[in-house]
Amino acid sequence: MDTIAGKVAVITGGGSGIGRGTALVLAAAGAHVVVTDVDEGAAVAVAGEAIQSGGSSVGTRLDVTSQADFDSARDLALSTFGAVDIVMNNVGLLAVGAPEYIPISEWERIINVNLLSIVRSNASFLPLLLDRGSGHIVNTASTAALFAYSYERSPYSATKGAVVALSESLALYLRPRGIGITCLCPGPVATNIGRQMTFWGPPVKLHSPGADLELLTGEAVGAHVRDAILANHFLLLTHPQLQAEALVPRAQDPEAFLAKQVEKIVKEDAETSNAGR
């Protein structure tokens, strides 16, 4: 995509965090932005922010577990702005606990939101993009999808890993048809995902991909997303140092990398246990 100006973007989870930041960045670049969120008030508020800054935007409610809501957002984009050029699938839920304590019902809920939301989005928006032979899709996965640094959020890691695999397969199909795709894998970002966490079983330590990683704002990530769309860049790391620190070593020697990660987890858990005594 050679320009953002004049394009129409639909963003799920746009009421806060990365979704909000990307909506504001794309609007500032001249896009018409449809901000959607399960919290309609938050979506409308972000659209208002974009408009106050000189952008073009509308906010609406979208529950990503509803195909009808996706269709309604598509129809709103078409009736208001006349097209859909960019679709950003940007939702995520976390269940926290040792694996044996997280119930099947919670796995089903998180699969429905984190993974099947993209399947629903594709059903609504892909036919439009394919008919025109242009456009761009952004799927938000996670650093947790690329290498193991925790065990206490396994449904999140598993579903976001599936988002990476789905995005790669879509790239094989869509790029030859003129449609770009970006898989966003954020590290630490200031979002409100913590408010939506559920906790199961005894308390566990929340492990991180790296203690020295900068906490980014949603707007900073949104700027990276804008640039990736323009460059048709597939794998977007918000913290590029992880490629050399984790992804390359994991690819070169998966057994050694996993052994190192296990050692790290055991040490961190022991330190947490000792600190609590």
Cα–Cα dist 231/213, whole Å: 25
Cα–Cα dist 59/130, whole Å: 25
- What is the structure's pLDDT at 211? 72
Dihedral, CA atoms, 39, 63, 178, 131, nearest 10 degrees? -120
- What is the structure's pLDDT at 225? 98
- What is the structure's pLDDT at 275? 65
What is the model's pTM?
Answer: 0.95
Q: Catalytic pick from 101, 149, 151, 156? A: 156
- What is the structure's pLDDT at 273? 66
- What is the structure's pLDDT at 272? 73
CB 61 within 8 A of CB 37: yes
Query: Is 149 a catalytic site residue?
Result: no
- What is the structure's pLDDT at 271? 83
What percent helix, strand, coil does the chain show, rounded to 5?
A: 55, 15, 30
- What is the structure's pLDDT at 262? 96
Mean pLDDT for each consecutive 10-residue tract of the chain (277 residues)?
Answer: 96 97 98 98 98 97 98 98 98 95 97 98 98 98 95 96 98 98 95 83 90 90 98 97 95 97 93 65
- What is the structure's pLDDT at 196? 78
- What is the structure's pLDDT at 115? 98
Class of domain 8-243: alpha beta
